[in-house]
Structure 1
Amino acid sequence: MKQTCLILLLVLNLQIIVCCGPAEYLNDGECCSMCSPGTRVFKHCTREFGTTCKPCTDGEYIEHPNGLEKCLKCKVCDQELGLQAKHVCTYTRNTICGPREGYYCIDSTCQMGRKHKTCPPGEGVKDKGTQFKDTVCEVCPQGTYSNNDSSTQTCEKWTVCKEINKKQVTLGTATTDTVCEEETSHTGKIIAAVIVSVLVLVLLIIAGVVLFKCYTKKWKPSPSVDNRHGEAEMGQPSGQTLLERSEETEDSNKDQTTASSG
């Protein structure tokens, strides 16, 4: 609907000023209807015809009612600048960029992103980084530790060995956890002691038997030596047989008889 707000006759140039409605735009003295969001003017209105509009194409947009002949180009989020598309561009809305994962915007309009800093070993994250804020680190307090670089990990508490039925070997530091080890039970100690005692006793018995055999073998006289020794005591040659001794006795008796006769 065409509305004429005011007609002013200027004395110098007699120019007519026409005010159009809120949904119209002025073109060649005519108030034309605006195109809706996502479309542009293809043909301006005339006195006979209204405005002809055409939709925007991919990569273009127009957010508001307009009298533009060209759609606007969608914004591109540069990943090399630490950005990514938070909201993809549509025909009626421009791209909205945000920081990449692990990055934060260095300004309110997020024209550039910067990577969240990491906390080194011995320090933990006090406040995690956000889209518009960097990471805040803190030194691990007594009783806690952190052993790696991280932009998300807080300081962890030392392990309490007693709580897991273990004994403490090494106390934790700002960069290491407490070291624990399994604690042997009294029953296990007793069984181990008995096994060791039995093994020692068996070894002693074996050693005694071996020594006894060696001793008896060393001092046992040889049968051949004993026989020779007995024969020597009886005045007989060791190699003489019973037949030889009988003949010697007979000869001795003959000699005695001969001697008596003479």
Structure 2
Amino acid sequence: MKENQLIKYTGGSRIGSRNLTIPFASLHIEKDKIELKSTGFKTLTFKPENLVDIEEVYFVPFIAQGIRIKHNKSEFSENIIFWSLTTPEKIIDLIKKNSLIQGNPRSENSSSKRNKKTSIPPIAIVSIFTLIIFGGTMIYQDSKKFDKYTTLTKDAEIQLEVKNMRVDHGSSYINRSYIVPMGTKLISNRPKWFKEKHQPIGGKDSDQNPYFNDLYKPFTILKSSNSFELKVIKNSDTLIFELPDPDRKDPNDPTFKDLFEQLTKN
């Protein structure tokens, strides 16, 4: 963690019409700025002079709650929301405590607004539970359709010409047989032809290296056993990717299990 970084919240985000669920975004509150980092998007940086207001957002308690960042930066979307399991009041109080925004960032009637929005009628509750059950069924069925695939791990050994590839939830499904897990990142030099499929805000390439799922077929992959390195040969170039280590844990980026344990303790 950087020296001037005060705290980091893991959550989701909404930038314009694009929405990322938890935990694919993070809010960094530092002494002189706020940064919203979202997977696949450019990092959005706000200094005190850019912040107009911070509002609480309560659509559904714990499921859809967070803060709306109102700003004066014309190059950013007007609709910017950070979703979090942490209560919006706590996040806003920290922002206010560090003088990142002048005055009271919460509107005077925020409490009444919250009370109105959290007073959910019975039919809405039934609808929410119906959607949860339906969504759970769809997720279960979706997870079963890849049971016959083999996930590439440290112990895998393979040499394969990739002719068919699809990306689903960040993972790459190749030749209807193998799965390259989400987070497989380029660690070698990046050739000029290798671009990110989804350009960040502003239309410029980000500074971070692309991922395996940014590749376009055809190409050849080679992997030796007892290694997280995955070689890709394409356009006469050899690229080296690193498979994610399931045993590696970043204390600054909690998992769903960590978040659940934190909630149950509270």
Tell me the TM-score normalized by structure 2.
Answer: 0.14
- Of structures 1 and 2, the one scoring higher in RCO (CA 8 A, sep 6+) is 2
Q: More helix per residue: 1 or 2?
A: 1
Looking at CA atoms only, which structure, 1 or 2, has the larger radius of gyration? 1
Query: TM-score, length-normalised on structure 1?
Result: 0.14
